[in-house]
């Protein structure tokens, strides 16, 4: 891969896309292109076809998606399945129609069955039922994985899918109505600390196990896939290590300096009991994460503090 290779990053303004853009720029890649959602509606098939035909990128990295936590998935199932399928289908088909040889599709660990053996191996895809709280998003992402696999099989192109574990980091979403668990906790603990160390109420029992990967490490995995022709169609990307949500909460509480009580609302759902990724395939090829959880949370909290004025204050 040459430094002047023209690379289109879909979703380049989001947490993952911006990390990929930043990482590629730092490595000397100078011909990166992106389009904001106002400039290009990825749900619009003709608009995407026209954009790809005009720009003629050599590589497409699909980091665009409609994302959210349990609440958002539960409240907007139609948008989560339809919009994600529209985005990825439009990009993948436009890539194929324009003879683009390399496509990197980003998904999620939620594609695997709810009660699959742990850690989650790539081979477990489609072997059992999904977690109901995010099945809409999962089904959309599964179709993306299988579509890229179909193109590899039928046309021999280097279309590969990377399935990250739970991602977090700078430029994350801290909106409590739509955010994932880690950034939501950072905001809740910070604002509770500012509010005389008020109690923090968290969903569920705190017993589920979760794995977290700092977004810059995810970007490095994308660069690894960019610079190498990976031999298979699907790869997990994570740390291979997990912890309880309770332990996560206590870690974030310590980093933010909150000294109040943590209250677990057991009337709210826990989600999947455990989602630990088997990252053997990526490790065997030579990629491994570098940023450990506490360091990553501290970096994320620092970014939140620098940008917190843009987040509307909420009542804890």
Is 59 in a helix, a strand, or coil? strand
The pLDDT tens digits for 38-67 are 999 999 999 999 999 999 999 999 999 987
Is the CATH code 3.40.50.720 the one for domain 7-310? yes
User: Please, are residues 91 and 49 in contact by the beta-carbon 8 Å criterion?
Assistant: no
The pLDDT tens digits for 167-194 are 999 999 898 877 789 999 999 999 999 9
- Of residues 131 and 286, the one with the higher pLDDT is 286
Q: What is the pLDDT of residue 275?
A: 84
Q: What end-to-end distance do the CA atoms of the chain give, in Å? A: 49
Say which DSSP state 111 is in.
G
Is 12 annotated as ligand-binding?
yes
Q: How many residues does the chain have?
A: 316
Is 6 annotated as ligand-binding?
no
Q: What is the pLDDT of residue 161?
A: 98
Is 187 annotated as ligand-binding?
no
Q: What is the pLDDT of residue 315?
A: 40
Is 109 annotated as ligand-binding?
yes
Residues 6+ apart with CB under 8 A from 315: none
Any catalytic annotation for residue 137? yes
Taking the CA atoms of 168, 169, 172 and 174 in sequence, report the sign of the dihedral they define: positive
Q: What is the pLDDT of residue 312?
A: 59
The pLDDT tens digits for 109-131 are 989 998 899 999 999 999 999 98
Q: What's the whole-number mean pLDDT along residues 8-19?
A: 96
What pTM, to 2 d.p., does this model score?
A: 0.92
User: Please, are residues 272 and 106 in contact by the beta-carbon 8 Å criterion?
Assistant: no
145 to 150, 181, 199, 272: CA distances (angstroms)? 9, 25, 42, 21
Is 14 annotated as ligand-binding?
yes
CA dist., res. 83 & res. 243, Å (int): 32
Q: What is the pLDDT of residue 316?
A: 34
Catalytic residue among 112, 137, 159, 235: 137
């Amino acid at each position: 891969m040459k430094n002047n290779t023209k690379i289109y990053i879909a979703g380049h303004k989001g947490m993952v896309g911006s990390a990929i853009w930043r990482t590629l720029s730092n490595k000397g890649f100078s011909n990166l292109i992106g389009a904001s959602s106002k400039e290009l509606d990825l749900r619009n098939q003709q608009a995407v076809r026209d954009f790809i035909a005009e720009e003629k990128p050599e590589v497409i990295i699909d980091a665009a998606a409609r994302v959210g936590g349990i609440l958002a998935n539960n409240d907007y199932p139609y948008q989560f399945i339809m919009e994600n399928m529209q985005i990825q289908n439009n990009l993948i088909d436009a890539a194929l129609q324009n003879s683009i040889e390399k496509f990197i599709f980003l998904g999620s660990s939620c594609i695997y069955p709810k009660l699959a053996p742990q850690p989650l191996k790539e081979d477990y895809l489609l072997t059992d039922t999904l977690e109901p709280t995010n099945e809409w998003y999962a089904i959309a992402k599964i179709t993306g994985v299988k579509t890229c696999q179909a193109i590899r099989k039928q046309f021999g192109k280097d279309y590969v899918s990377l399935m990250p574990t739970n991602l977090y980091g700078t430029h994350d979403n801290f909106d409590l109505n739509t955010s994932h668990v880690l950034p939501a906790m950072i905001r809740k603990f910070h604002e509770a600390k500012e509010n005389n160390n008020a109690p923090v109420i968290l969903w569920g029992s705190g017993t589920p196990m979760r794995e977290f990967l700092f977004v810059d490490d995810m970007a490095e995995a994308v660069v690894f896939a960019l610079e190498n022709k990976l031999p298979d169609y699907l790869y997990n990307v994570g740390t291979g290590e997990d912890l309880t949500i309770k332990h996560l909460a206590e870690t974030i509480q310590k980093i933010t300096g909150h000294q109040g009580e943590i209250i677990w609302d057991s009337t709210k759902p826990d989600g999947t009991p455990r989602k630990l990724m088997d990252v053997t395939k990526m490790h065997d090829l030579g990629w491994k994460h570098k940023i450990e959880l506490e360091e990553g949370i501290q970096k994320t909290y620092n970014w939140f503090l620098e940008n917190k004025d843009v987040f509307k204050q909420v009542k804890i």
